[in-house]
C-alpha cells in the first residue's frame, strides 16, 4: 500500500472519531443514532445504547475459532487491519472472547479533565473516572481501552478493579496500555487480560475522553460491539456483522480438516487429493462421515445438520 493511501485512511478514521466526539455534544459517548449509523451492516439485537449485541451462542462458538481462519474471512470481506500482536497475558494460553465495550484514554490535560469530571457529575457517575466504564459493563463484555501504551502513571486496573470487572462482565480486558498486580490478577479464575506490560505504579497520568466510541488498539480500529478474540498468537477484532460468518466458515474448515486428517491417517486418500479441490466422490464421503460422527465432533450438532441440508452430495 502506498503512503498516500495510508494517509487518506488515517485522516478518514480521525475524521470519524471527531464526528463521534462532537455529534453527541460531549466527549463521553455516542448517541444511539450515531451508534446505529456507524454499524449499518448489523441487523441483530442491540443494547439500549445502540451497541450491537452479538448472541451468546455465537460468542461461545467463536472461542473455538482459529485466529488464522478468522483472518481469512475478514480479509476476503475487505477488512485488512483487524489483527494485533505483542501482548502479555494474565493467563497465557487461555482465551479472551466477548463483545467490545470501548474506552478512550488520553494524556492528562487540566481543563479537559475538569470538564470531563463535571460531565460525569452531571450524569450521576460515581467515583473516579477509571470506575465509570466498569460500572457500564454487561455480561460477556470485554473491556477494551486505548491507554496509548502509557507506562508512568498508566495502569488503569489492578487487583481490586480487575475483580470488579470480572464480577460485572464474567470476562476480561484488552488494554493498549499497562496493568498492575499481576500475581493477584492471576488468582481470579476465569479472568484474562491482554495488556502491553506490567508496571507497579498506579493510575494518575490519563483522563477519559470517550466511552463506547471508535478507538484504536495498535493498528486496529475497534467499534463498540465488535467481537474480540484473543489467543496465544494475538488478538483479532471481528466486526459484529461478520461474527456469525466467521464462526460458520471456521466450523466448516475445522470439520473438513478433521475429516481430511482421519482419511490421510487411514491412507484412504493421498495428500494431493485432500489438498486439491475435492472430487464429488470425496465430497460424498465427507457428507457420510458428518452423518456418522456428528455426535462426537466439536461443532454443535444442529450446525452440522444445517450444513448437511445445504450440501448437494
Domain coordinates in residue numbering, the chain: 15-53+85-238, 244-310
Domain 15-53+85-238 bears CATH identifier 3.30.499.10: no
State how far the Cα of 36 lies from the Cα of 59, in Å rounded to an integer: 21
Instruction: Give 222-258 pLDDT, tens digit per residue.
Output: 999 999 999 999 999 999 999 999 999 999 999 999 9
Percent of the chain with pLDDT over 70: 91
Per-residue pLDDT at 185 exceeds 60: yes
Per-position b or e across 45-76, b if 16+ CB within 10 A of its CB: ebbebbbbbbeeebbebbebbbbebbbebbee
Cα angle at 186 between 183 and 189, to 5 degrees? 155
- The percent of residues in the chain predicted with pLDDT above 90, rounded, is 84
- For 115, counting Cβ atoms within 10 Å of its Cβ (0-12 exposed, 13-18 middle, 19+ buried), the class is middle
pLDDT at 303: 86
Task: Please state the φ and ψ torsions of residue 235, each to the nearest 5 degrees.
Answer: -125, 135
Non-local (6+) Cβ contacts of 84 within 8 A are 217, 218, 219, 220, 234, 235, 236, 237
What pairing do the DSSP bridges indicate for beta strands 141-146 and 173-176? Answer: parallel
Q: Higher confidence at residue 300 or residue 280?
A: 280
Instruction: State pLDDT tens for residues 115-135.
Output: 999 999 999 999 999 999 999
pLDDT at residue 280 above 50? yes
Task: Give the pairing of strands 193-195 and 173-176.
Answer: parallel
Do residues 153 and 52 lie in contact, with contact meaning Cβ atoms separated by under 8 Å? no
- Angstrom distance (rounded) from CA 13 to CA 18: 9
Helix, coil or strand: residue 106? strand
Largest Cα span, the chain: 72
Residue-averaged pLDDT of the chain? 91
Contact 188, 23 (CB under 8 A): no
Task: State the pLDDT at residue 4.
Answer: 46
Which SS3 state, helix, strand or coil, does residue 141 take? strand
Q: What is the pLDDT of residues 31-87, one digit of tens each?
A: 999 999 999 999 999 999 999 999 999 999 999 999 999 999 999 999 999 999 999
Full DSSP string of 176-240:
ESEE--HHHHTTSTT--EEESEE-SS-S-SEEEEEESS-EEETTEEE-TTPEEEEETTEEEEE-G
Amino acid at each position: 500500500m502506498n503512503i498516500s493511501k495510508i494517509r487518506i485512511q488515517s485522516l478518514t478514521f480521525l475524521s470519524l472519531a471527531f464526528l463521534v466526539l462532537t455529534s453527541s455534544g460531549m466527549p463521553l459517548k455516542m448517541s444511539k443514532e450515531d451508534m446505529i449509523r456507524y454499524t449499518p451492516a448489523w441487523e441483530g439485537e442491540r443494547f439500549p445504547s445502540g451497541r450491537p449485541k452479538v448472541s451468546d451462542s455465537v460468542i461461545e462458538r467463536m472461542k473455538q475459532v482459529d485466529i488464522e481462519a478468522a483472518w481469512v474471512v475478514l480479509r476476503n470481506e475487505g477488512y485488512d487491519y483487524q489483527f494485533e500482536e505483542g501482548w502479555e497475558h494474565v493467563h497465557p494460553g487461555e482465551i479472551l472472547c466477548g463483545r467490545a465495550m470501548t474506552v478512550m484514554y488520553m494524556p492528562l490535560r487540566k481543563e479537559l479533565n475538569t470538564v470531563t469530571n463535571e460531565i460525569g457529575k452531571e450524569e450521576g457517575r460515581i467515583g473516579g473516572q477509571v470506575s465509570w466504564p466498569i460500572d457500564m459493563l454487561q455480561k460477556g463484555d470485554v473491556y477494551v481501552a486505548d491507554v496509548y501504551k502509557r507506562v508512568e502513571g498508566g495502569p488503569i486496573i489492578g487487583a481490586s478493579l480487575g475483580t470488579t470487572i470480572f464480577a460485572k462482565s464474567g470476562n476480561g480486558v484488552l488494554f493498549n496500555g499497562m496493568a498492575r498486580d499481576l500475581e493477584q490478577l492471576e488468582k481470579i479464575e476465569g479472568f484474562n487480560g491482554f495488556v502491553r506490560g506490567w508496571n507497579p505504579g498506579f493510575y494518575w497520568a490519563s483522563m477519559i475522553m470517550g466511552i463506547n466510541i471508535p478507538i484504536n488498539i495498535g493498528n486496529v480500529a475497534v467499534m463498540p460491539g465488535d467481537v474480540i478474540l484473543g489467543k496465544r498468537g494475538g488478538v483479532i477484532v471481528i466486526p459484529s456483522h461478520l461474527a456469525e460468518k466467521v464462526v460458520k466458515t471456521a466450523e466448516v474448515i475445522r470439520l473438513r480438516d478433521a475429516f481430511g486428517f482421519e482419511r490421510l491417517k487411514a491412507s484412504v486418500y493421498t495428500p494431493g487429493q485432500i489438498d486439491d479441490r475435492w472430487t464429488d466422490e470425496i465430497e460424498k464421503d465427507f457428507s457420510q462421515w458428518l452423518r456418522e460422527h456428528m455426535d462426537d465432533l466439536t461443532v454443535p450438532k444442529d450446525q452440522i445438520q444445517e450444513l448437511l441440508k445445504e450440501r448437494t452430495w
